[in-house]
Structure 1
Amino acid sequence: MERRRRLFETEKVGGRAAYRFQAVTVAAGILLLLYYRVTHVPAAGEGRAAWLGMLAAEFWFSVYWVITQSVRWCPVRRRTFKDRLAQRYGEELPGVDIFVCTADPQSEPPSLVISTILSVMAYNYPSEKISVYLSDDGGSILTFYALWEASKFAKHWLPFCKRYNIEPRSPAAYFFNSEGHHDRCPPKELSFIKDLYEEMTNRIDTTVINYLKDHQPIVQILIDGKGQNAVDDDGNVLPTLVYMAREKRPQYHHNFKAGAMNALIRVSSVISDNPIILNVDCDMYSNNSDSIRDALCFFLDEEMGHNIGFVQYPQNYNNETENNIYGNSLQVLNQVEIAGLDSVGGPPYIGTGCFHRREVLCGRIFSKDYKEDWNRGIRKRHEQTYMRLKRRQSLSKGTPLFPEIMNPWATPFIYVFCMKNIYCLYEELLCGHTLKGWWNGQRMWMVRRITSYLYGLIDTIRKLLGLSKVEFVVSSKVILCGMLVIINIPIYEAMFLRKDKARIPFTVTLASIGFVILAFLIPIV
Structure 2
Amino acid sequence: MDQSLSTSPARSPLLHRLRHARRTAFNRMFAAVYFCAILLLLYRHALKLIHSTTFASFLISLSFLISDIFLAFLWFTYQCFLMTIVYRDEYPENLQKLLLSKKSSSSFPALDVFICTTDPYKEPPMRLVSTVLSVMAYDYPSENISIYVSDDGGSQVTLFACMEAAKFAYHWLPFCRKNNIIERSPEAYFTTNYSSWFSDVEEIQKMYESMKERVEKVLEKGKVGEEYIIEELERKAFSKWTNHEFTCHDHPTVIQVLLDSGKNKDVTNHLMPNLIYVSREKSRTSSHNFKAGALNVLLRVSAAMTNAPIILNLDCDMYSNDPRTPLRALCYLLDPKLMSQLAYVQFPQIFHGINKNDTYSCEYRRVFCCNPLGLDGVLGPNYFGTGCFFNRRAFFGGPSTIVPPEIPELGPNNVVDKFIQSQPVLELAHKVAGCNYEYKTKWGYEVGYRYGSLIEDFSTGLRLQSEGWRSTFCNPKRAAFLGDAPISLVDVLNQVQRRCIGGLQIAFSSFSPLTSGTRSLGPVMGLAYTHYCLWPTWFIPLTLYAFLPQLCLLHGLSIFPKFSEPSFILYVFLVLGAYGQDLLEFLIGEGTVQKWWNDQRMWMIRGLSAFGFVWLEFFLKCLGISTYGFSLTSKVIDDEQSKRYRQGMFEFGASSNMFLPLITAAIINLVSFLMGLVQFLRGNKMEGLFLQMFLAGFIVLNALPIYKAMVLRNDKGRIPFKTTATSTCLALALYELVSLPLGNQN
Cα separation, 2, equivalents of 1:22 and 1:314: 28
Cα separation, 1, equivalents of 2:722 and 2:66: 38
Matched, 1:13 2:215: no
Q: Work out whether residues 16 and 73 of structure 1, in 8 Å CA contact, stay in contact via their aligned partners in 2.
A: yes
Aligned residue for 2:614?
456
Cα separation, 1, equivalents of 2:721 and 2:94: 66
Question: Structure 1 residues 442 and 106, CA, compared in 2 at 3 Å: closer, same or farther?
Answer: same
CA distances 1:181-222 after superposition (whole Å, capped 9, x unpaired): x26xx4321222111111111111112223741431111111
Q: Any idea what SS the aligned residue of 2:332 has?
A: helix
Matched, 1:466 2:614: no
Cα separation, 1, equivalents of 2:396 and 2:27: 42
Question: Structure 1 residues 232 and 521, CA, compared in 2 at 3 Å: closer, same or farther?
Answer: closer
Q: Work out whether residues 224 and 240 of structure 1, in 8 Å CA contact, stay in contact via their aligned partners in 2.
A: yes
Question: Structure 1 residues 410 and 275, CA, compared in 2 at 3 Å: closer, same or farther?
Answer: same
CA distances 1:73-97 after superposition (whole Å, capped 9, x unpaired): 2210112222332111143322111
Question: Structure 1 residues 148 and 206, CA, compared in 2 at 3 Å: closer, same or farther?
Answer: same
Q: Work out whether residues 114 and 313 of structure 2, in 8 Å CA contact, stay in contact via their aligned partners in 1.
A: yes
Pick one of 379, 383, 391 that aligns with 2:471. 379
Cα separation, 2, equivalents of 1:233 and 1:239: 14
Q: Which runs of 5+ in 2 are unaligned?
A: 1-8, 101-105, 224-240, 405-411, 415-467, 476-480, 482-528, 628-654, 673-678, 680-688, 690-710, 712-719, 726-746
Question: Structure 1 residues 305 and 53, CA, compared in 2 at 3 Å: closer, same or farther?
Answer: same
Aligned residue for 1:338?
372
CA distances 1:217-253 after superposition (whole Å, capped 9, x unpaired): 11111111112xx111221111101011112345666
Aligned residue for 1:65?
75
Cα separation, 2, equivalents of 1:5 and 1:481: 56
| Percent of aligned pairs sharing the same letter | 33
Cα separation, 1, equivalents of 2:11 and 2:300: 35
Q: Which runs of 5+ in 1 are unaligned?
A: 470-476, 495-500, 503-514
**Given residue 148 of structure 2, which amino acid in structure 1 is its aligned partner?**
Y
Matched, 1:206 2:191: no
Cα separation, 2, equivalents of 1:432 and 1:56: 35
- Count of matched residue pairs: 482
Which structure would you say has the larger RCO, counting Cα contacts within 8 Å and 6 or more residues apart?
1
Q: Any idea what SS the aligned residue of 1:409 has?
A: helix
Question: Structure 1 residues 382 and 59, CA, compared in 2 at 3 Å: closer, same or farther?
Answer: farther
Question: Structure 1 residues 478 and 131, CA, compared in 2 at 3 Å: closer, same or farther?
Answer: closer
Aligned residue for 1:216?
252
Pick one of 78, 95, 109 that aligns with 2:110. 95
**Given residue 43 of structure 1, which amino acid in structure 2 is its aligned partner?**
S
Cα separation, 2, equivalents of 1:86 and 1:261: 31
Q: TM-score, normalised by structure 2?
A: 0.59
Q: Any idea what SS the aligned residue of 1:11 has?
A: strand
Aligned residue for 2:179?
164
Q: Work out whether residues 256 and 276 of structure 2, in 8 Å CA contact, stay in contact via their aligned partners in 1.
A: yes
Matched, 1:122 2:137: yes
Matched, 1:447 2:605: yes
Q: Work out whether residues 322 and 434 of structure 1, in 8 Å CA contact, stay in contact via their aligned partners in 2.
A: no
CA-CA distance at 1:260 after TM superposition: 0.9
Question: Structure 1 residues 444 and 232, CA, compared in 2 at 3 Å: closer, same or farther?
Answer: same
Q: Work out whether residues 76 and 340 of structure 1, in 8 Å CA contact, stay in contact via their aligned partners in 2.
A: yes
Question: Structure 1 residues 26 and 195, CA, compared in 2 at 3 Å: closer, same or farther?
Answer: same
Q: Any idea what SS the aligned residue of 1:273 has?
A: coil
Pick one of 382, 390, 412 that aligns with 2:570. 412
Matched, 1:353 2:387: yes
Query: How do 1:305-320 residues align onto structure 2 when only pairs under 5 Å count?
Result: 305-320=339-354
Q: TM-score, normalised by structure 1?
A: 0.82
Cα separation, 1, equivalents of 2:15 and 2:723: 67
Cα separation, 1, equivalents of 2:625 and 2:413: 51
Question: Structure 1 residues 260 and 334, CA, compared in 2 at 3 Å: closer, same or farther?
Answer: closer
Pick one of 591, 594, 600 that aligns with 1:436. 594
Q: Work out whether residues 313 and 382 of structure 1, in 8 Å CA contact, stay in contact via their aligned partners in 2.
A: yes
Aligned residue for 2:396?
362
CA-CA distance at 1:378 after TM superposition: 2.7
Cα separation, 1, equivalents of 2:721 and 2:601: 24
Question: Structure 1 residues 88 and 519, CA, compared in 2 at 3 Å: closer, same or farther?
Answer: closer
Q: Work out whether residues 137 and 255 of structure 1, in 8 Å CA contact, stay in contact via their aligned partners in 2.
A: no
Question: Structure 1 residues 459 and 202, CA, compared in 2 at 3 Å: closer, same or farther?
Answer: same
Aligned residue for 2:452?
none
**Given residue 222 of structure 2, which amino acid in structure 1 is its aligned partner?**
I
Cα separation, 2, equivalents of 1:399 and 1:444: 29
CA-CA distance at 1:348 after TM superposition: 1.1
Cα separation, 2, equivalents of 1:412 and 1:108: 50
Q: Please say which of residues 355-364 and 286-295 is displaced more in the overlay.
A: 355-364
Q: Work out whether residues 305 and 377 of structure 1, in 8 Å CA contact, stay in contact via their aligned partners in 2.
A: no
Q: Work out whether residues 458 and 480 of structure 1, in 8 Å CA contact, stay in contact via their aligned partners in 2.
A: no
Aligned residue for 1:507?
none
Aligned residue for 1:226?
262
CA-CA distance at 1:129 after TM superposition: 1.0
CA-CA distance at 1:40 after TM superposition: 3.3
Question: Structure 1 residues 239 and 479, CA, compared in 2 at 3 Å: closer, same or farther?
Answer: closer
**Given residue 120 of structure 2, which amino acid in structure 1 is its aligned partner?**
P
Question: Structure 1 residues 330 and 478, CA, compared in 2 at 3 Å: closer, same or farther?
Answer: closer
Decide which structure has greater helix share.
2
CA-CA distance at 1:146 after TM superposition: 1.2
Cα separation, 2, equivalents of 1:108 and 1:487: 35
CA distances 1:427-469 after superposition (whole Å, capped 9, x unpaired): 3334444433322222221111121111111111111123338
Aligned residue for 2:59?
49
Cα separation, 2, equivalents of 1:316 and 1:307: 27
CA-CA distance at 1:402 after TM superposition: 2.5
Q: Work out whether residues 346 and 472 of structure 2, in 8 Å CA contact, stay in contact via their aligned partners in 1.
A: yes
Q: Work out whether residues 174 and 267 of structure 2, in 8 Å CA contact, stay in contact via their aligned partners in 1.
A: yes
Superposed CA RMSD: 3.6
CA distances 1:317-347 after superposition (whole Å, capped 9, x unpaired): 1121122211222334444211112112111
